[in-house]
Amino acid sequence: MELTNIKTITNLLEEHGFEFKKSLGQNFLINPSVCPKMAALSGADKNTGVLEIGPGIGVLTKELCKVAKKVVAVEIDPRLPALLEKTLADYDNITVVSGDILKLDLKALFKEHFEGMDVLVCANLPYYITSPVIMGLLEQHLPIKSITVMVQKEAAQRISALPGTRACGAISVAIRYYATPEKGFSVSRGSFMPAPNVDSEVIKLNINKQPPVSLKSEEMFFKTIKAAFSMRRKTLLNCFSKEFSISKESLTEILAEAGVSPTARAEELTIERFAKISDLLEGLVK
């Protein structure tokens, strides 16, 4: 079954009485070149397990099944598993799990399905939950080697931006602690059905074997990043004094000790500076 063929998709969806739900970010890929390229970029092979998020009608799932040892696809829409049974009937290495990726116990899922395997994540993400999905996967310290995802172009730029550059945001710094972004390829809006209002990009996050900085407290590090970027146009001194109940005098001293000007803005800081500031704040912030 050619899952990128518009006629095939329309017939299939009609047969199952399926209508697209915008609220679930349902834009299905119809460009036949994208999924094989994504599967190749993910690096999946016969020794790897792949976690897919949001298989839709299975267009990417199928490509992953061809190359991986096992694929587990988590889909929130209860109308899709029956349809997937049909579209993926040729593959015996697929398990579809019904559920919300943000609520499932992923540690248990990994234990049940991927014991003893290298695991990758590969997905055309529903864009309304791009950040919580990526951060959730990273924060849980799941045993994964990489995350290859299609996201909105602007999100890809933000995620990949180097800390210390204008394009960076809280997520750019937070992600670098766990992973190193790698550029994939661009995908135009016309590659989807229905076409979204934005273009997309595939990126790969290679999980770091060791974090780039050692910290007194991970929790304080992420609090520091969040506070620093809470008001983009304000100075670090203003952001920190609003978020933390510490005097401006003490904060100025902390910034000086970290080698940072009190008038600097979050986008000017490297990950090492964030680490230094968070170590100095640790114990002072509740």
Residues 6+ apart with CB under 8 A from 113: 49, 70, 72, 95
In the bound complex, which residue of the shown chain has the CB atom lying closest to ligand SAM?
54
Min separation Cβ 247 and ligand SAM, Å: 43
Min separation Cβ 106 and ligand SAM, Å: 11
* Alpha carbon distances (Å) from 278 to 46, 163, 172, 266: 42, 15, 17, 13
Nearer to ligand SAM, 30 or 220 (CB): 30
By three-state DSSP, how is residue 211 classified?
coil
Can you tell me the distance from the alpha carbon of 186 to that of 278, in angstroms, rounded to the nearest whole number? 36
Min separation Cβ 105 and ligand SAM, Å: 14
Nearer to ligand SAM, 194 or 283 (CB): 194
Can you tell me the distance from the alpha carbon of 173 to that of 270, in angstroms, rounded to the nearest whole number? 8
Nearer to ligand SAM, 28 or 110 (CB): 28
Nearer to ligand SAM, 192 or 244 (CB): 192
Can you tell me the distance from the alpha carbon of 190 to that of 198, in angstroms, rounded to the nearest whole number? 10
Min separation Cβ 278 and ligand SAM, Å: 31
Nearer to ligand SAM, 59 or 119 (CB): 59
CB 178 within 8 A of CB 212: no
| Contact footprint for ligand SAM (CB under 6 A) | 24-29, 53-56, 59-60, 74-77, 100-102, 124, 126, 129
Min separation Cβ 263 and ligand SAM, Å: 41
Strand partners of residue 150? 124, 202
**The pair of three-digit structure tokens given for residue 165, joined into one six-digit string:** 């550059």
Nearer to ligand SAM, 75 or 201 (CB): 75
Min separation Cβ 76 and ligand SAM, Å: 4
Greatest Cα pair distance in the chain: 68
